[in-house]
Amino acid sequence: MMTRIRQRLFTLRHTYSNPLDAQRARILLYLNIAIITMTVISVLLLQIPDSLSSGIVDVTGFISSAIVIVAAFFSYTFIQNGKLNRAIWIMLLAIAAGTLSAILFGNNGTPTVSSSVVIFLTIPIVAAGVLLSRRGLLIITALTLVVAAVAAIIQSTITQPVTYIPARLAISDYAIIAISVLVIIAILLAFFGTLQRVATEAIEVNKQRQWVNLLGLELATIDNEVELLSMALGQARRVFNQYFIEVYLTNDEGNLTNAVISWQRINTIRSIDANIVAEAARSRILLTTSLRDEEARRTHMAASTSYAAAAPMIIGTDLIAVLDVQGAQPFSQNELDTFQQLADQIALAIQRVRYTNELQTQVLDHEKTIKRLQNQMQDYSHTQNQNVSDVWGGYISGRGKQAIGYNLDSTAAEPVQATDLPSGLVSTLQSGQMEVATQNGEQIINVPIKFRDTNLGAMSFVVPADQPLSERQLEVATTVAERLAQALENTRLFEQSQSQALRERKASEVATALIGATDVRVVLNMAAEQFKDALGAVNTRIFIQPETLMEPLAPTQQEK
Distance CA 331, CA 534 (A): 104
Q: Which of 162-166, 296-300, 323-327, 499-503 has the lowest mean pLDDT?
A: 162-166
Per-residue confidence band for 416, with pLDDT thresholds at 50, 70 and 90: low
Per-residue confidence band for 263, with pLDDT thresholds at 50, 70 and 90: very low
Residue pair 244/260 in contact (Cβ under 8 Å)? The answer is no
**Residue 91 Cα to chain centre, angstroms:** 49
For the chain, give every domain's residue range: 2-156+168-206, 223-361, 404-499, 516-550
The helix or strand, by DSSP H or E, that contains position 144, with its residue range, turns out to be helix 134-156
CATH number belonging to domain 223-361:
3.30.450.40
469 phi-psi bin (left φ>0, alpha ψ -120 to 50, beta other): beta
Confidence (pTM): 0.50
Distance CA 418, CA 445 (A): 18
Distance CA 418, CA 54 (A): 152
Per-residue confidence band for 43, with pLDDT thresholds at 50, 70 and 90: confident
Residue pair 392/492 in contact (Cβ under 8 Å)? The answer is yes
Q: Give the pLDDT confidence of 535-548 residue by residue, as tens digits.
A: 666 666 666 665 55
Burial 126-139 (b: 16+ CB within 10 A, else e): bbbbbbbeeebbeb
Distance CA 434, CA 450 (A): 11
Provide the pLDDT for residue 560. 43
Provide the pLDDT for residue 323. 93
Provide the pLDDT for residue 3. 54
400 phi-psi bin (left φ>0, alpha ψ -120 to 50, beta other): left
Distance CA 192, CA 108 (A): 39
Provide the pLDDT for residue 193. 63
Residue pair 120/144 in contact (Cβ under 8 Å)? The answer is no
Kindly tell me if the per-residue pLDDT of 434 is higher than 60.
Answer: yes
- How much of the chain exceeds pLDDT 90, in percent? 10
Task: Say how many C-beta atoms besides its own lie within 10 A of residue 538's C-beta.
Answer: 6
Q: Find the mean pLDDT for residues 289-311.
A: 89
Q: Give the pLDDT confidence of 320-356 residue by residue, as tens digits.
A: 999 999 988 888 778 888 899 999 999 999 999 989 8
Residue pair 333/310 in contact (Cβ under 8 Å)? The answer is no
Distance CA 19, CA 240 (A): 19
- Average pLDDT taken over every residue of the chain: 78
Nearest to 257 by CA among 301, 313, 321: 321
Same fold: 223-361 with 404-499 = yes
Amino acid making up residue 212? V
Kindly tell me if the per-residue pLDDT of 69 is higher than 60.
Answer: yes
Q: Find the mean pLDDT for residues 178-200.
A: 72
Angle at 26 between CA 38 and CA 174, to 5 degrees: 20
HEC assignment per residue over 339-367? HHHHHHHHHHHHHHHHHHHHHHHHHHHHH
Residue pair 307/290 in contact (Cβ under 8 Å)? The answer is yes
Residue pair 275/297 in contact (Cβ under 8 Å)? The answer is yes
Provide the pLDDT for residue 501. 82
Distance CA 160, CA 229 (A): 85
Kindly tell me if the per-residue pLDDT of 35 is higher than 80.
Answer: no
CATH domain 404-499 topology: Beta-Lactamase (3.30.450)
Helix axes 166-219, 19-42, angle to 10 degrees: 160
Kindly tell me if the per-residue pLDDT of 404 is higher than 80.
Answer: no
Provide the pLDDT for residue 440. 75
> How many CA atoms lie within 13 Å of 358's alpha carbon, on the beta-carbon side?
6
Q: Find the mean pLDDT for residues 519-544.
A: 68
> How many CA atoms lie within 13 Å of 55's alpha carbon, on the beta-carbon side?
0
Distance CA 186, CA 350 (A): 50
